[in-house]
Structure 1
Amino acid sequence: MSLNESAHFMSGETDLIKLYSGRILALAADIPHSERLTSADASVKKRSPLCGSIVTVDLDITDGRVSAFGQDVKACALGQASASVVGGALIGCTPAQAFKARDQLRALLKGSGEIPDAPFDGFEVFLPASAYKNRHASILLSIEAACEAIDIIYAKEKNAAHPV
């Protein structure tokens, strides 16, 4: 490896280390609502095929808002940090807010979006992850599982208008 190649490799390695910032690690260590619900309107289990991270979410909706949320997270630090943001933000949100947060996080990871709206603005911590496409699926697991659970609830309630 030449000196230039070595410097480029080390620069990439430094960028990867920045991705796992203190904030990411702090979020990963403190995941809200990390217990499954005993009885949920819907449950969804999602797995990231690349890294094997798995998130299972349980969700209830009452009066058009997420009223209860639980999750079992077996994921890398990025997946755990994302689950932490979701767990801290989702209860009290409308389904439309959850779907918007998912779409905003997808755009942020593609490098084409703004920081998601509150209460999901904690996703800002993933700005450096846009350069690491292989990490995106793990970061999206929890919010995508929550949105799928919302879809299931509204599919069960055939007379209810889907929120999005």
Structure 2
Amino acid sequence: MFKKLVIVLLCAMPLSVFAQYKFGTINTQEVFALMPEKATAEKTLQDLAKKYEDEFVKMREEFNKKYKEFMAQDSLPENIKARRMQEVQELQQRIQNFQEVAQGDIEKQQQQLFAPIEKKLTDAIKSVGTEQKFTYIFDLASPMPVILYHGAPSEDVTAAVKTKLGLK
């Protein structure tokens, strides 16, 4: 519905209206991938994930050991078996809780690490747009970039944003 409305409006407007607009495009994924801060943030996340993985392996080994001990002891009284079974179940629950906490912490760290990088990129795009007097800059990395006009070619500002950020 929105697409049809835009097409109707575009057809109804005189082409001279578009002469006052300057359109640009950028591939934010390309620029974001080149930013050195991204690599640093990813390294920090990998290190954090490795620490959680190491701890998870230790917990899993402890669980496997207790489970094998539990399965190997047939001659114990029922109340001791029940207590050991409860220990195994509690350890399994701790492992599940640990995984949830670890995943949540990694996601939180990812948001905290990438937010300033994304802001820096957004600020650079806004700066290029202001300096070069663009009316609109569209992100080509979006699943469905908005295309308002097909007749006039847009200008790709990816290189200008890379320059603004000191990237090659």
Q: TM-score band, normalised by the shorter chain?
A: under 0.3
**The structure with more strand, counted as a fraction of residues:** 1
Computing the radius of gyration from Cα coordinates, the structure with the larger value is 2
**The structure with more helix, counted as a fraction of residues:** 2
Q: Which has the higher contact order (CA 8 A, sep 6+)?
A: 2
TM-score (norm 2): 0.27
